[in-house]
Amino acid sequence: MIGLNHYLILSGILFTIGLIGVLRRRNLLMLFFSTEIMLNAANVAFAATSNFYHDLSGQMFAFFVVAIAASEVAIGLGLLILVYKKENTLDLDDLASMKG
Amino acid sequence: MEGLVYIALFAPLVSSLFAGSFAMTPKKQFVGVISSLLLFSSFAASAILGYHVLTTNEAVHVKLMDWIVAGDLNIPFGFIVDHVSVTMMFVVTLVSTVVHIYSIGYMDHDKSFNRFFSYLSAFVFSMLVLVMSDNFAGLFIGWEGVGVCSWLLIGFWYHKADVTRDINPSISPSWAANEAFIMNRIADLGMLVGLFIIYWNVGSLQYDVVFKEIPNMTQIALTTAAIALFIGAMGKSAQFPLHTWLTDAMEGPTPVSALIHAATMVTAGVFLVIRANPIFSVTPDVSYFIAALGTFVAFFAASMALVNRDLKRIIAFSTLSQLGYMFAAAGLGAYWIALFHLAAHAFFKALLFLGAGNVMHAMHDELDIFKMGGLKKAMRGTYLYMGLASLALAGIPPLAGFFSKDAIIETAFNEGSLILWLMLVTTAGMTAFYSFRQVFLTFHGDERYHDLGIHPHEMYKYVLIAMSPLAILAVIAGFFKDGFNNFIINQLPNYQMSEHTHHLALYLGVLVLIAAIGGIVLAYIKYNKGLVRSEKTENSFIYKLLANQYYIPNLYESVISKPYAELSKLMWKNVDMKIVDATVDSIAKVIYKSGDKSRGMQSGNLSNYLNWMAIGAIVLLVMAIVSLVA
């Protein structure tokens, strides 16, 4: 039987993967993927707990997150294209221009 | 009437602000003229108020606004024009008006002409607040305002450098200004304590409330309040041992000296004793001390004036001495005589100082009377004025000084304090001697100024004309003695001589007169022909003691100033630098160092930033968990 804990563990694993991706990856595009994974890890947790408590508001939140993630990706990808056109690379190490 | 009170009080303030707005610009003649006109309007308002009080015999009491209202404490900005304060207002505004007009001529060549008028008017305004306030708090504000303005004015020529005491006994204008201010601060503490005691016991600082409560106060409270208030008066009126600032204050421009001595500063102490007479009259021990100290100062200051060579300092010592007379009268309970002497003294002392200013002007700021002589040819008007003022100071009838001083000496006799009486009579003789020593050395005899290559010239005409009201009053003020007595006893206790004294009054007066004339004759014999200096006298111990002001300034310096400076240096090096500064510096250093170390984080690499962000988030999470668990 798959219970709440399983879902939460899955969510935790996904979040960790996303976090490691954010921390370790050097490519901006990959950073976006990683944040998407983290957002969806949260979605899984929302949906699972919502089902557990028989309360729909968790799922509503999940929809909101999906909507916001979609708009964020739309803007983010647009910016990425601009950055790529300007700098010809998406590697963070090469983009470091504001060293203090 | 209310409007007149405000005109009398605020015209000097307007004048000060007006002149102040031109402070940074070059000399403008109209600033002086307008200031003088405003001061004159203040004088006119005071005179009308005086007439009003005289005819209706009612005090004018106005309340401008609430000032401090906190809990039980309620201090309004209230002003009262009664018999005492209207007398003071009349004297203060009259002398100030003359001094303002005089300053137009005297400060003619000074580049800070406008600034000078601003300070001068502010000085008068402070003094008017002091005398007109209807409560002790307002009096204290005026008291402090006078202190600040005197500091500004004594140090008016602040750019002059410090020199040693041998060359100039007051070292420098800014030194003298600081000395005056600090000495007054010491005394002001006493004054503040007195106010606290009064408030503590009565719960109010209004004069009428306080004086009504006196029967319900304990003798100890009254005595301590009287002592504390008198300490304040000692500082402002330069009584021993806080007297050294007064002669050093001669560093200020001469009109300022006239103002300080005649109208706006040193009389404040006497005014306080007169104003608070209900307190002092129920504390006989304190009052007797005041009388004794006053007599001592009268004698002590006159003795120093005997040998001084500085024209202005001689006059300053004479003020000190006359203040001693006033305190003697006030201490013996003859408050109205003290006030009368204050007014009479203001007229001839202002005249003396302004005359000294003319001499100084003519002599190119030379003040040593040993270098003058024979000036009467070049300066007829000034000679006349200073001669008159000196006669008044010496107490020759029918001039003002005779009536007021004689009354004080008579009071001392009447009270049976024969020692005080004898000292006051002796002092009267000394006063006559040193005043005429100064007159003869300045105006008579051989013309010693030729050696200095000076060609003295008389002051401007309008200045001499402006001084004439003072001269007239110095001559006639004495005739108003009985009228003044009838006027002032509506408010002050009426002090009358006993039958016995009344009987002897004529003989006593003649005795004083003999002392005074003896002093003048002695001065005439010694100095009229010219200056004869004798090495032997000048090297004698007593001469040196007097010339060095009993070595009191030196004593203060070696006993108080120098050890204090050493102590300050020690504290600065050991406590301030090693503890206080080190602590503050180390805080700054920690922040600076940590900033410098963490600067490396700012790599410009987004990935690094994200790592730091994650670390921060984890730290916050851990802290949240820890705080939840704990």
Cβ-defined contact of B614 to A100 (cutoff 8 Å): no
User: Between A19, A92, A100, which is nearest B607 by CB?
Assistant: A92
Terminal Cα distance for chain B, rounded: 76
Question: Which of the four pLDDT bands, split at 50, 70 and 90, describes residue A43?
Answer: very high
Banded model confidence at residue A24, pLDDT cuts 50, 70, 90:
confident
Q: Chain B residue closest to A30 (CA)?
A: B607
| pLDDT (average), residues A17-22 | 91
Best of B598, B605, B618, B621 to mutate (most A CBs within 10 Å, chain A): B605
Q: How near does any CA of chain B get to the CA of A26, in Å?
A: 7
Q: Is the ipTM of this complex over 0.90?
A: no
Would you call B614 and A92 a contact, using CB atoms and an 8 Å cutoff?
Answer: no
* Cβ contacts of A28 on chain B, cutoff 8 Å: 606
Total-model pTM: 0.80
Are B603 and A95 inside 8 Å of each other by CB?
no
Interface of A with B (CB under 8 A): 19, 22-23, 25-26, 28, 31, 92-93, 95-100
pLDDT at B150 over 80: yes
Residue B2 clears pLDDT 60, i.e. is over it: yes
pLDDT band per the 50, 70, 90 thresholds, residue B62: confident
Per-residue pLDDT for A62 more than 90?
A: yes
Query: Which residues of B have a CB under 8 Å from any CB of A?
Result: 599, 601-607, 610-611, 614
Chain B residue whose CA is closest to A25: B607
Task: For residue B575, give Cα distances in angstroms to B7, B98, B102, B277, B579.
Answer: 53, 52, 52, 47, 5
pLDDT digits (tens, 9 = 90+) for B179-204: 899 989 989 999 999 999 999 888 88
Query: Model confidence at B73, in pLDDT bands (50, 70, 90)?
Result: confident
Residue with tokens 């004297």: B91
d(CA B292, CA B286): 10
* Predicted local confidence at residue B605, as pLDDT: 81
Q: Are B290 and B332 in contact (CB under 8 A)?
A: no
pLDDT value of residue A99: 67
A22 CB neighbours in chain B (<8 A) are 610, 614
**pLDDT-derived band at B487, boundaries 50, 70, 90:** confident
**B127 pLDDT above the threshold of 90:** yes
Cβ–Cβ gap B607/A93 under 8 Å: yes
Count chain A–chain B contacts defined by CB atoms under 8 A.
34
Residue of A nearest to B611 (CA): A23
Q: How confident is the model at residue B497 (pLDDT cuts 50, 70, 90)?
A: confident
**Element housing B81 (H / E):** strand B73-81
Tell whether the model's pLDDT for residue B604 goes beyond 70: yes
Average pLDDT over residues A46-50: 93
User: Which structure tokens are listed for B468?
Assistant: 């004439």
| Beta-bridge mates of residue B593 | none
Nearest CA in chain B to A16: B614
Which residue in B599, B605, B610 is closest to A96 by CB distance? Answer: B605
Distance CA B134, CA B78 (A): 6
Q: By mean pLDDT, which of B165-174, B193-202, B244-253, B473-482 is the weakest?
A: B165-174
DSSP A16-80: HHHHHHHHH--BHHHHHHHHHHHHHHHHHHHHHHHHHHT-THHHHHHHHHHHHHHHHHHHHHHHH
What pLDDT does residue B365 have? Answer: 79
Tell me which chain B residues have a C-beta less than 8 angstroms from the C-beta of A31.
Answer: 610
pLDDT in tens, B541-587: 888 888 888 888 888 888 888 999 999 999 999 988 899 999 999 99
pLDDT of residue B625: 94
Task: Determine, for residues A23 and B614 on separate chains, whether the beta-carbon distance falls below 8 Å.
Answer: yes
In the prediction, which pLDDT does A34 show? 92
B164: left (phi over 0), alpha (psi -120 to 50) or beta: beta
Q: Is B597 exposed, middle or buried (0-12, 13-18, 19+ CB in 10 A)?
A: exposed
Cis peptide before B253 (omega within 30 of 0): no
Best residue in A38, A92, A97 to probe B by mutation, most B CBs within 10 Å? Answer: A92
Identify the closest residue of chain B to A97 by CA–CA distance: B604
Q: What is the mean pLDDT of residues B271-284?
A: 90
Partners of residue A98 in chain B, C-beta under 8 Å: 602, 604
Which residues in chain A touch residue B602, judged by CB atoms under 8 angstroms apart? 98-100
Q: Determine whether the interchain pair A96/B604 forms a contact, defined as Cβ–Cβ distance below 8 Å.
A: yes
Query: How many angstroms away from the CA of A72 is the closest CA of chain B?
Result: 18
Q: What is the pLDDT of residue B40?
A: 93
| Closest residue to A99, CB basis, from B604, B611, B614 | B604
**Is A95 in Cβ contact with B599 (below 8 Å)?**
no
**What is d(CA B587, CA B277) in angstroms, rounded to the nearest whole number?**
57
Q: Given the structure tokens 């600082």, which residue do they identify? A: B205
Chain B residues with CB-CB distance to A97 below 8 A? 604
- Least CA distance to B599: which residue of chain A? A100
- Cα separation, B392 vs B402, in Å, equals 7
* DSSP element (H, E) containing A81: helix A57-87
Q: Do A26 and B602 lie within an 8 Å CB cutoff?
A: no
Interval B241-258: pLDDT, tens: 888 888 888 888 888 888
User: What's the mean pLDDT when you consider all of chain B?
Assistant: 87
Q: Is the pLDDT of residue B128 over 60?
A: yes
Distance from CA of A33 to the nearest CA of B (A): 14
Determine whether A61 is exposed, middle or buried from the number of CB atoms within 10 Å of its CB (0-12, 13-18, 19+).
middle
CA distance B142 to B267: 13
Q: Check CB contact under 8 Å for A23 and B603.
A: no
The angle formed by the CA atoms of residues B389, B393 and B396, to the nearest 5 degrees, is 95
